[in-house]
Amino acid sequence: MKSSDHPGVSPHPAVSLKDVSFRYPRAAEEVLQDITLSVTEGTITAILGPNGVGKTTLLNILLGWLLPEKGEVSLFGRRSRAISRREMGQTISLVPQDEHVPFEYTLLDYVLLGRAPYLSPLQTPRPADARIAREALERVGLAARRNHPVANTSGGEKQLALVARSLAQEPRILLMDEPTAHLDLRNKRRTADLVKALQTEGVTVIFTTHDPEFAAAAADRLILLQGGRLLDEGPVDQVMTTENLGRVFSLDLVVHHFAGRPVVVW
């Protein structure tokens, strides 16, 4: 992904939420309440919070897949409701936690799906799309396995293939939902390095995680959610404190610092 493919740096935040609340149909309570925040273009933000706090819901709101009950979501200063699906697909992409993959796809076929926002409905991928998909597979270390059926890949390889598909989408904003859930240490490191490389290309990255140490290794900013509300946000070293994480996870824990990074002991 080249920053030259995108317009120059926007004067607006990549993402801004104003008083956003969301409730699932027939649910008694709002999952998210009065969330106001903005994410600067070219930053890496981790959203940290316990199971069920609403992290995935928040990503789905950013994608325009769920509409808030109240409040406004904007991408690069434009209300997301006013952005067409096709343009949304070229602007923002999601690496989901998991996804059912149709049996017959090879890894390359699967990653080529990321090119859909650039093709008309029945258009077959062009040579340039295949090149972009192959480069995306290379970036996640799966180039040699591009003709391998997705059905026969491990959980970690599938997760990396999902990342490659999102990269093939060439988004300005990359969302990742628990990107390291199935990854070993080496692939966690690879993911942290990839995210930082994307940042140098001007891409804004937002990922959810339960893992404070990965958040600290990969992100420069942190958003903490607790009880459906924004508890704190800012630079990782200011926000990742014993008090904040203890409140977020309702746990007696201590944040130590080792080799310049926070380590959580619980």
Ligand X SMILES: Nc1ncnc2c1ncn2[C@@H]1O[C@H](COP(=O)(O)OP(=O)(O)OP(=O)(O)O)[C@@H](O)[C@H]1O
Among 5, 9, 19, 24, contact with ligand X (rule: CB under 6 A): 24
Region of 49-57, 79-87, 188-196, 214-222 interacting with ligand X (CB under 6 A): 49-57
Specify the pairing of strand 44-48 against strand 70-75.
unpaired
Region of 24-32, 33-41, 148-156, 238-246 interacting with ligand X (CB under 6 A): 24-32
> What are the residue ranges of helices labelled H in 32-83?
55-62
Which amino acid is present at 164?
A: A
Q: Look up tokens 């026969």; give the residue.
A: 152
Region of 7-15, 53-61, 87-95, 162-170 interacting with ligand X (CB under 6 A): 53-61
Smallest gap from residue 254 Cβ to ligand X (A): 23
Closest CA to 177 of 192, 197, 188, 163: 163
Smallest gap from residue 53 Cβ to ligand X (A): 4
| Dihedral angle computed from the Cα positions of residues 179, 181, 184 and 185, in that order, rounded to the nearest 10 degrees | 60
Among 5, 9, 36, 52, contact with ligand X (rule: CB under 6 A): 52
Site pattern 57..86 for ligand X (x: CB under 6 A): x-----------------------------
Residue 175 binds ligand X, judged by CB under 6 A: no
Specify the pairing of strand 221-226 against strand 44-48.
parallel
Which residue, 54 or 202, has its beta carbon nearer to ligand X?
54
Spatial CB neighbours of 3, under 8 Å, sequence gap ≥ 6: 201, 202, 203
Smallest gap from residue 177 Cβ to ligand X (A): 7
Residue 49 binds ligand X, judged by CB under 6 A: yes
Among 13, 42, 54, 125, contact with ligand X (rule: CB under 6 A): 54
Spatial CB neighbours of 253, under 8 Å, sequence gap ≥ 6: 242, 245, 246, 264, 265, 266
Smallest gap from residue 52 Cβ to ligand X (A): 4
Residue 56 binds ligand X, judged by CB under 6 A: yes
Strands of the sheet containing 44-48, edge to edge, are: 92-95, 173-177, 204-209, 44-48, 221-226, 229-235
Which residue, 16 or 60, has its beta carbon nearer to ligand X?
60
Are the C-beta atoms of residues 207 and 47 closer than 8 Å to each other?
Answer: yes
Are the C-beta atoms of residues 212 and 264 closer than 8 Å to each other?
Answer: yes
Residue 55 binds ligand X, judged by CB under 6 A: yes
Smallest gap from residue 91 Cβ to ligand X (A): 22
> Can you give the binding site for ligand X, defined by CB under 6 A?
24, 27, 31, 49, 51-57
